Amino acid sequence: MDGINMSDEKKNGSFVRVEMNRHINAPVHKVFPLACPVMEYKWIPGWKCELIHCPNGHVELGTIFKEISSSPILADSIAERTTWTAVLYEPDSYRVHYRLDNRISSSLYKLEFEESISGGTNMRLEMAYTSLDGMGGYEVKKWREAKLKLMLSILSLMLTHYCEHGEIIETSEVKKLVLQVNELTFKDRIRLLLNKLVKRFMKDEDRIKFLRIERL
């Protein structure tokens, strides 16, 4: 989990910001398009979502989708839906920002990429999380930071693996990251497990459509 910085921009503990920087050994023009709800079927194991507004089949300004994969992290729940809205989309500068809204939180998730000197990609991820229930305090803040760091670590690991190896990562590698986070409670770990089970039985017409196209 190297390359993570945190900021105490708000002292009440209801606001947490986590940032991650990572280098990917793949050209930026191939990495950036993967920051899209449709393309995530390629590199996130078990990814499922509900596309609300994605008329051209790829992310653009105003794209909206819902998912439950982030529920244990962002909503402290098993299957709470979080709505993602693309509030900034600048393909020329390789930047896309999403607003994430659910019952207990509202967040701004920034994905920004640039070409490195070596011809690879420097990736910057930032999550600015605001709890709508106002839960604060040092211990709560520390616990939330750990969960957000885990989310960004998992996403960056998955994306890097796919870009560098051309295949989706094994879930066993993701589990190793989860086991390293001591701040996760027993309830957190149960939520992560049950969330995976719920997703397995979810019907996802968009996933079915994507996989059908991939086979052609």
pTM of the model: 0.90
Mean pLDDT value of segment 120-125: 98
- Under a CB-based contact definition with an 8 Å cutoff, are residues 159 and 34 in contact? yes
> Quick check: is 88 in a domain?
yes
Q: Does 163 reside within a domain?
A: yes
Query: Between residues 203 and 122, which one has the greater pLDDT?
Result: 122
Q: Which residue has the tokens 């962002």?
A: 74
Whether 204 maps to a domain, the answer reads no
| Residue 209: inside a domain | no
Which domain CATH number covers 76?
Answer: 3.30.530.20
Number of helical H runs and strand E runs in the chain: 6, 8
In the chain, how many domains are there?
A: 1
Per-residue pLDDT tens digits for 53-91: 998 889 999 999 999 999 999 999 999 999 999 999 999
pLDDT category at 176 given cuts 50, 70, 90 is: very high
